[in-house]
Amino acid sequence: MTRLWYGGDYNPEQWDPAVWKQDVDLMRQAGVNLVTVGVFSWSSLEPSPGQYDFGWLDRILDLLHDGGVSVDLATPTASPPPWFTRLHPEAMPVTPAGVRLTHGSRDTYCVCAPAYREAARGIARALAERYRDHPAPAMWHVHNEYGTTCYCPLAAERFRSWLQERYGSLDRLNEAWTTAFWSQGYADWTDIEPPRQTQYLVNPTQFLDYRRFWSDELLAAFLEQKAELRAQSELPITTNFVFGGWVPVNHARWAEEVDVVAIDHYPDQAGIGAEEQTAFGADLARSWAGGKPWLLMEQAGGTLNDGRRLHPKEPGRMARHSLSHIARGSRGALFFQWRASRGGAEMYHSAMVPHAGADSRIFREVAELGSVLPRLAEVAEGNIVAEVAILWDVECWWAMQGTHLPSSALDYLSAVRSAHRHFWSAGVTVDFAAPDADLSTYRLVVVPSLYVVSDVAAARLAAYVESGGQLVVGYFSGIVDPDLRVRTDGYPGAFADLLGVRVEEFHPLPIDGEIALASGGSGRTWSEDVQAATAEVVDRYAGGVLDGKPAITRRQVGAGTAWYVSTEVDRETMADLLQLPASQVETVEWRSGDTTWTFLINHGDSRAVVPARGIELVTGDPVDGELVVPAGGYAVVRSA
């Protein structure tokens, strides 16, 4: 992929064919070169079982191709038609409380139901057979945002097989799940159920294993469709990842199975938090992708949704968000959706062509960005340079969603986001890395609240420090093994020796409470009674029962240093520790040989003057020493 893709979800079945021609003309005007077609088209493509109606899709693909727009052709399996419910009531999903759902929305099926799997393979095969030689498709898009869970008897059966595979014996499972507690010992595999609604706290390892299982089961369903498409076509195959606490998908693992990593990104904050979230989502996607291409498959054009109301994106903000993704490696910027719907559940979701039509600020900004992107495509010759990694482990996130932790304020995602925010605010690019990844290329590795850690990962981190790495470990790390069993003899368990500290007791802070530090800084969320065994004390708690006890420590290990930060320290304290300057300009650097490309995105409300030399790619103007990036503006400089 050498060009940057630009476009969005196109759902022409909602429109009279007279609009289609106008759509393609407007796409050309806006520089659109890729649209995702067919994501939710199952009932239009297969109105009754085995009866296909491809006529409308033939016409749309021809029109798009004639207009120079490529297609990301989707399988429609995220929304089976109503006839599917009638024929296969056993394939409808069941909630943890045992309520069976029915159609009327989308994503209403159990992925463990054989009837669903067969129907999904069938429609994928029919699409691949029909369109494998059509010139419009550039990519296959399987399903939409894999992520729904079910607790039905069919899912229970699959879960038991998965557990047999993972544990081999009931003895091993009983040990891993600590079933000796509360009389949960299993003597028969068929007694094991999904973590359905029950009387009181659910078994934490059962809860975590259900997530792990569900990720594998959804992946198996994806791979079946992928195989159907691959049997007919060599085009790249993707599926759009959705990120959220409810999503039982291990994206880092799934990334190995797609040709292009694709993400949907909808920040849920209206203020500057939206920009931070954008950078966070993009850095995660790049890290999941490893060296593979990745693509922002969906974003909202004109609005931000904080869950209560829509906030219009101010002029220029849509472009800055798109640029932030591209700066961090996305091979383009796509939206949901092309034309705003007139009806249906998402009729007020923003679009590239809003209800007001093409004579609108939003469409003008869409067209403007479409004209800029081709000038930036050359950066793909380079690579992003990140010297810092933050560890990310989705299983740790899932484990910390259990209801058994010592404080409800412990929140893995916010700990990781807060680590990322420190670097983002300083214009420093970070990668995310798996705890057991090779970290040797990073000068600094930050480990936010890595509650669950395997022996292998702990040993890798120790080796990283030994050979010269700088490691900063955050509170509530190293506590349990992958079975969620506590590592005894003092927290932070797996990291106690490496960090040279021993913690006997946790001191969770009151919600919104603070603890003072001797340096003048403060901590929130959490604190611990830390003893510095072989570590030096860098900062201490001041006041209260922990007065004078270590809060931040440092230990020289081989050629490197391991730090422990036992509370959620304030921004300034962390910025000092990490030696990070403040910057209002989001900066990302790409390099290839002697050439450097620098993305500069100014989210501030005053202009920024940055040192730069070379050619600014948006304007084509030479830059000689200094570049002014206007408030809310952006620039990309190529330097030799």
Active site positions, annotated: 145, 298
The terminus-to-terminus CA distance of the chain in angstroms comes to 24
* Residue number, 336 or 597, with CB nearest to ligand GLA: 336
Shortest CB 338 distance to ligand GLA, Å: 12
Shortest CB 583 distance to ligand GLA, Å: 31
| Residue 72 binds to ligand GLA (criterion: CB under 6 A) | no
* Residue number, 298 or 568, with CB nearest to ligand GLA: 298
Shortest Cβ contact with ligand GLA: which residue? 264
* Residue number, 146 or 159, with CB nearest to ligand GLA: 146
| Residue 145 binds to ligand GLA (criterion: CB under 6 A) | yes
Q: Which of 14, 70, 75, 144 touches ligand GLA by CB under 6 A?
A: 144
Ranges within 392-431 binding ligand GLA (CB under 6 A): none
In the block, residue with structure tokens 């068929």: 190
* Residue number, 245 or 520, with CB nearest to ligand GLA: 245
Cα separations in angstroms, 633 against 62, 386, 548, 576? 38, 24, 47, 29
Do the beta carbons of residue 274 and residue 267 sit within 8 Å? yes
Q: Which of 46, 228, 264, 393 touches ligand GLA by CB under 6 A?
A: 264
| Residue 349 binds to ligand GLA (criterion: CB under 6 A) | yes
Ranges within 437-476 binding ligand GLA (CB under 6 A): none
| Residue 586 binds to ligand GLA (criterion: CB under 6 A) | no
Measuring CA to CA, which residue among 519, 520, 529 is closest to residue 567?
Answer: 529
* Residue number, 264 or 497, with CB nearest to ligand GLA: 264
Calpha distance 39→9 (Å, rounded): 8
Q: How many CB atoms lie within 10 A of CB 579?
A: 8
Site map (CB under 6 A) of ligand GLA, residues 174-203, x = contact: ------------------------------
| Residue 306 binds to ligand GLA (criterion: CB under 6 A) | no
* Residue number, 207 or 336, with CB nearest to ligand GLA: 336
Partnered with residue 139 across adjacent β-strands are 72
Q: Which of 72, 228, 276, 298 touches ligand GLA by CB under 6 A?
A: 298
| Residue 346 binds to ligand GLA (criterion: CB under 6 A) | yes
Q: How many CB atoms lie within 10 A of CB 508?
A: 18
Site map (CB under 6 A) of ligand GLA, residues 199-218, x = contact: --------------------
Q: Which two tokens stand for residue 550?
A: 């270590």
Cα separations in angstroms, 119 against 79, 82, 110, 223? 11, 13, 12, 14
Q: What is the DSSP letter of 203?
A: P
Calpha distance 490→20 (Å, rounded): 66
| Residue 277 binds to ligand GLA (criterion: CB under 6 A) | no
Number of residues that bind ligand GLA (CB under 6 A): 9
User: What string of DSSP letters covers 517-578?
Assistant: ETTS-EEES--EEEEESSSEEEEEEESSTTTTSEEEEEEEETTEEEEEE-SEE-HHHHHHHH
3-class secondary structure, 304: strand
Residues forming the site for ligand GLA (CB under 6 A): 144-145, 242, 264, 266, 298, 336, 346, 349
